[in-house]
Amino acid sequence: MSSNISSHPLVCLQDVRFAYGEREILRGVNLAVHRGQLVAIMGGSGSGKTTLLRLIGGQLRAGSGKVAVDGQDLSALSVRGLYAMRRRMGMLFQFGALFTDMSVFDNVAFPLREHTDLPAELIHDLVLMKLHAVGLRGARALMPAELSGGMARRVALARAVALDPMLMLYDEPFAGLDPISLSVTGQLIRRLNDALGAASIMVTHDVQVSLGLVDYVYFLSNGVIVAQGSPEEIRASNDPFVRQFVHAEADGPVPFHYPAPPLESLLDGAAA
């Protein structure tokens, strides 16, 4: 775990509300992430985790409340200001989102070529260093279609950290990975966060792997933070929601079924 956590939050959400039309997704979320911290946001499907990540990345604007990154209110930033902020962020998408018309090397070089005037030789060396960090230096000439899911995720990770961001956002980084890739990716996320001195926010369902990696956990349900704490506190928690989630129990406050009328009323053609 990181020992150099700063006192001022790098990311701060205050009473954030967000709705898609009439459907309210977030209902007053408060959250703080400090430099050096790796934070997990967990919750059931549709609980608003990815929406929260998009609000922090500035892809969505909060209906009310404040989303601040490095002290700047994202809703007050112009497009130019938002892009300047994003140059200091990295995001790992669920399936990598690699540019399919570019090789692995060009994918990682993309942000360096777009945002710096570095000479080609230096970009070449930096890209190889980033690829080496994720163990894929030898795959630099491959195209994204030639990579496995785990490899694509690691290339995307190398691309996301190409500009040494102050904030990393991970959207389901472990989804669909085999146990080896999952463990390697998890360790990489932890190592990169500590090496960059960055803050990282990870949206994930993978409770056991995440609790072994992160510094702090927020549990999101029905658009509000229902529980939070360090991994030790989460493991020891008697909160019914946390217990159900951590121990993967079928019964608990998180319903398995989508809201529906009783099954009996739909049988024998009683209702359609």
Partner 1 sequence: MSAMAAGLRKLGAMAIDGVWRFGFAARFFLALFRYSGQSFLRLPLTIREIYFSGVLSLLIILVSGLFVGLVLGLQGYDILQRFGSSDALGIMVALSLLRELGPVVAALLFASRAGSAVTAEIGLMKTTEQLQAMDMMAVNPLARVVAPRFWGGVISMPLLAALFSAMGIFGGWLIGVVAIGVDDGAFWSQMKAAVSFRYDVLNGVIKSFVFGVAVSWIAVFEGYDCQPTAEGVSRAITRTVVYSALAILALDFVLTSFMFRGL
Kindly state the smallest distance separating residue 99's Cβ from partner 1, in Å: 6
- Asked if residue 244 binds partner 1 (CB under 8 A), the reply is no
CB atoms within 10 A of CB 36: 20
Q: Measuring CA to CA, which residue among 166, 167, 259, 223 is closest to residue 51?
A: 223
What part of residues 118-137 is at the interface with partner 1 (CB under 8 A)?
Answer: none
Q: Which residues contact 47 (CB under 8 A, 6 or more apart)?
A: 220, 221, 222, 223
Kindly state the smallest distance separating residue 95's Cβ from partner 1, in Å: 7
Report the half-sphere exposure of 35 (CA within 13 A, side-chain side).
15
Kindly state the smallest distance separating residue 152's Cβ from partner 1, in Å: 11
Kindly state the smallest distance separating residue 107's Cβ from partner 1, in Å: 10
- Asked if residue 86 binds partner 1 (CB under 8 A), the reply is yes
Helix ranges (DSSP H) in the chain:
49-56, 79-86, 104-115, 120-133, 149-160, 179-196, 207-211, 231-236, 240-246
Nearer to partner 1, 62 or 163 (CB): 163
CB 114 within 8 A of CB 162: no
Kindly state the smallest distance separating residue 175's Cβ from partner 1, in Å: 13
- Asked if residue 84 binds partner 1 (CB under 8 A), the reply is yes
- Asked if residue 20 binds partner 1 (CB under 8 A), the reply is no
Instruction: Report d(CA 229, CA 244) in Å as an integer.
Output: 16
- Asked if residue 178 binds partner 1 (CB under 8 A), the reply is no
6: three-class secondary structure by DSSP: coil
Task: Work out which of 10, 16, 89, 207 binds partner 1, going by CB under 8 A.
Answer: 89
- Asked if residue 98 binds partner 1 (CB under 8 A), the reply is yes
255: three-class secondary structure by DSSP: coil
- Asked if residue 83 binds partner 1 (CB under 8 A), the reply is yes
What part of residues 36-55 is at the interface with partner 1 (CB under 8 A)?
Answer: none
* Residues of the shown chain interacting with partner 1 in the complex, contacts defined by CB under 8 A: 57, 59, 83-84, 86-87, 89, 91, 93-95, 97-100, 110-111, 114-115, 156
